[in-house]
Amino acid sequence: MIKILIAEDQSMVLGALSALLDLEDDFTVVATAENGEQAMSLAQQHDVDIVLTDIEMPKMTGIELAQALQRINYTAKVMILTTFTRSGYLRRAMDAGVKGYLLKDAPSDSLAQAVRQIHQGKVIVAPELITQAWGEVDPLTDKERKVLRLAYEGKTTEQISKAIYLSAGTVRNYLSEASSKLGAANRIEAARIAKQNGWL
């Protein structure tokens, strides 16, 4: 019997996934969580084989969850199930020791199969992502990322400079540099590109 813990912040989807996996005779969903923190504590309470988690969740993302589990040498295999096709996410997930990365776009009957394969020790990555995975690397520095994130929210140069304690001129330099690295014509486009690649 493969013991599964599911973490997913949309209750409806969580319940539905749980129903889907419970249909399999060799699976049992031992616990469910609506955020990463809860999943972390439930994982420690239960004996679990597979942790199936989304990425974007309140309090703790799925990737942070994987990192935290890795840090305490937790033996369960972590599997990401998400909509995000950003190569940045995949890379970070692999670094966190994740054993599977599936997309919610994949047919629902492929999930059970993937769970079994990962349980057997294989590593599964959504085919759509394999090619692009080792493509471009995030070219942004931390400062550029931070500045770009604020610009993305519509903050002006002035507001950004106050928010992160840098001079307005420096902020503009970072934005300009980011745009140029990303081949964008302005801060908005730059932010969109970064966002699309999971760099933001």
Site residues for DNA per CB under 7 A = 141, 143, 156-158, 165-167, 169-170, 172-173, 175-176, 179-180, 185-188
Asked if residues 179 and 190 have their Cβ atoms less than 8 Å apart, the reply is yes
Rounded CA-CA distance 94/47 in Å is 23
What minimum distance in Å lies between the beta carbon of 16 and DNA? 42
Instruction: Give the residue, chosen from 141, 156, 167, 180, that forms a contact with its own copies under the rule CB under 8 A.
Output: 156
Are the C-beta atoms of residues 79 and 48 closer than 8 Å to each other? no
Q: Which of 67, 64, 63, 52 is nearest to 115 (CA)?
A: 52
Residue 11 interacts, among its own copies, DNA, none and using kind-specific CB cut-offs from 5 to 8 Å, with its own copies
Window 13-32: residues binding its own copies (CB under 8 A): 13-20, 23
Query: In whole angstroms, what is the distance from residue 114 CA to residue 109 CA?
Result: 9
Tokens at residue 177, please? 């540099």
Asked if 152 touches its own copies (CB under 8 A), the answer is: yes
Cβ proximity to its own copies: between 18 and 170 the closer is 18
